[in-house]
Chains A and B, each alone.
Chain A
């Protein structure tokens, strides 16, 4: 190693909270305290703050983005922020709290390994807290962290913290949320963010930064069956090198599981099997590959495989189906309707699809199921689709890659829906 930085990989996190819970302040502090808020950014901020008549530099201004939003004074899209502690890199997906922005939160949650759910210590668990928790859970974010913020405004009261915790646990159990942790903090003063501070001595657990530094990345993907959607086939026939004449490399990313040379695989939809002859990454041979690696696979037998096919281990096939049961979040202004044909993209595979039924729609505020004839933007519902081509699926609960799909409107090419397979 020529540089001194250790490497604990990368963690993607999501921050959610209602307006004014202190989300921007917390993110600002994380960035600030990890020394990534750089001097000239602060310089530009000092100017903006003056214009708005604020006295101190407002940490939350660091996380606003686009001009229009700055004018409106609210955050209306998912913004991505980066910081590094030197040992780990973090990507924060920052989604706004308003209820009409369910789709943004769903988008931000889709890639997160950990969600920080902010609660204002004075207000306790609110409707929005439930909604955010439901959505994070629905999107399969493996770890939820409830951060009880503004502890300085409730005299750092342990009693208050415990009451909120009990309140939360009661409804979390109803939703089936298991992996949840609680942390008291003050984003503004910094207690328990990076420094412990001296006011929350009664709390035993690690600070927010310690939690983030040690939170696991993507275990489930490793434990799940091997899934390799083929993105691209490499056939360098025109090469001057005769050794490459018969080269056929199947390129893609291991979406879940792991694989080693010599493993028996099956290609879908053909059902033909072969053995892994070689695994390559950037031209170098590997003995094995695991989830999240982008690799090239070479097989012992010549079988016909193209983009959109999936390679799996022969003894752990996914379900092959032309009928999809799923929870969808509708993302577009034009409603989801039975009369139209859509395009569904699942891994690297596209198929035409028609809505065949809506079992229920979830009221994300009351968490009650309702009847619905069509879906509008931000609706979440249990639906069924009929597919023109088969897809190779796993339940989303078990696999966040082969259980996920997007719905595309072919007339505009817009991404109009996000789906999670329930089988």
Chain B
């Protein structure tokens, strides 16, 4: 045999067990090291995994943090309903702060009325951090989502202005996480950094997690715009010259209606989604975030400004 010790006795943790154990460890480090953390919950699949992981980390106790949703006001109603139901079932506190309030305060100014509000979430998030004095926000971002995230730390440091400086991140060794911060600074903790989209779907299947219905294949009126499938909603009407068609689609991420596109799919069960994901040829954000396509460096720019 190539490796002398290959057949040593240790029972191997499956990759999902290992990822789960790592994420639980990270969540407990946040609880142990931070005085006032919050968990960012959007109703999306990644944050749904986070909630299950938090249950595994802290039950039978309560979560040592509230759930926080930064609401763009541009959500699919299925997702908001799901968000409220889930928080109620868990019996955990849900805080909602909305971009529309920031607009009323004048801290968010849109270039035009139906502009994507994704990037403006940063402002509202920073306002919520200040309002509640959060020293850490737990998020569901993954390193495989986008190139600029590949070097992201698990505990990522943000300065007083919420800025992420790629040159000024703390080295992260072993599983010794440094979530210390001074007043006004903030840590973003990413317990599922090491998960891929496929891992997420496999975990959802294994744990039998419920998801908003728009993740599963359904009929939806759409138009094809610049090669991407654009759903037709009250916020995103068809242009006069466009032909609206009914397509069988599902969403791979959920977010601001104006910039989240579905993919064509017949996958109406988790099993089928896993099969599709395992063989898919398009990355998650590339396919479905219309605002990332503009530039390879778009995400990095947004992160510097305080995006998750």
A-side residues, CB < 8 A to B, are 2-3, 5, 7-10, 35, 38-41, 43-44, 48, 64-68, 70, 77-82, 84, 86, 88-89, 91, 103-104, 106-107, 110-111, 143, 179, 181, 205-206, 210-211, 214-219, 222-223, 231-232, 234-236, 238-239, 241, 244, 247, 249, 251-253, 281-283, 290-294, 307, 331, 345-348, 400-401, 404-406, 408, 413-415, 418
Contact = CB atoms under 8 A, between A and B. Distances in A.
Contacts of A10: 13, 15, 18-19
Given A9-B15, A290-B10, A290-B11, A232 B32 contact: yes
Contacts of B170: 414-415
Nearest to B147: A65
Interface centre among B17, B171, B178 (most CB of A within 10 A): B171
A-B interface, 6 closest residue pairs, ranked by CB to CB distance from nearest: A282-B56, A40-B286, A294-B24, A39-B281, A89-B15, A222-B10
Contact of A282 (B4, B15, B31, B55): B55
Interface residues of B, number: 77
Nearest to A3: B274
B236 interface: no
Contacts of B10: 217-219, 222, 290-291
Interface string B273-284: 011001111110
Interface centre among B9, B170, B182 (most CB of A within 10 A): B170
Nearest to A77: B151
A414 to B, nearest CB: 6
A378 B199 CA distance: 35
Contact of A239 (B19, B21, B60, B199): B60
A211 B2 CA distance: 8
B174 A9 contact: no
Contacts, number: 213
Given A7-B15, A10-B18, A40-B283, A415 B28 contact: no
A222 B19 contact: no
A104 to B, nearest CB: 8
A5 B278 contact: yes
Contacts of A91: 194
Contacts of A292: 13, 18, 21
B173 A406 contact: yes
A218 B130 CA distance: 42
A245 to B, nearest CB: 11
Contacts of B143: 80, 82
Contacts of B57: 251, 294
B176 interface: yes
A235 B61 contact: yes
Contacts of A281: 56
B297 interface: yes
Contacts of A222: 8-10
B151 A413 contact: no
Interface string B290-301: 000000110011
Contacts of B202: 3, 5
22 contacts: A3-B202, A3-B271, A9-B13, A41-B283, A41-B286, A67-B297, A67-B301, A78-B151, A79-B151, A84-B196, A89-B199, A91-B194, A222-B8, A236-B62, A238-B62, A251-B57, A294-B25, A294-B28, A294-B56, A345-B178, A406-B174, A406-B176
Contact of B174 (A5, A205, A294, A404): A404
A291 to B, nearest CB: 8
Interface in B146-201: 147-148, 150-151, 166-167, 169-176, 178, 180-182, 193-194, 196, 198-199
Given A179-B4, A206-B2, A216-B8, A413 B182 contact: yes
B62 A331 contact: no
B178 A408 contact: yes
Given A40-B286, A44-B286, A79-B151, A234 B61 contact: yes
Contact of A8 (B12, B20, B148, B297): B12
Given A88-B15, A222-B10, 14 more contacts: A3-B271, A7-B14, A79-B151, A80-B150, A84-B15, A106-B173, A181-B2, A219-B5, A231-B31, A253-B21, A253-B175, A347-B176, A404-B176, A415-B171
Given A3-B271, A216-B5, A345-B176, A80 B151 contact: yes
Contacts of B151: 65-66, 77-80
B59 interface: yes
B58 interface: yes
A181 B151 CA distance: 29
Nearest to A63: B150
Contact of A413 (B3, B12, B171, B180): B180
A179 B60 CA distance: 44
Contacts of B28: 231-232, 251-252, 294
Contact of B32 (A107, A231, A401): A231
Contacts of B113: none
B29 interface: yes
B287 interface: yes
A111 B278 contact: no
Contacts of A293: 13, 17, 21
Nearest to A252: B28
B2 A82 contact: no
A38 B57 CA distance: 34
A41 B173 CA distance: 29
Contacts of A86: 278
Given A66-B151, A231-B32, A294-B21, A38 B281 contact: yes
Contacts of A244: 60
A231 B300 CA distance: 33
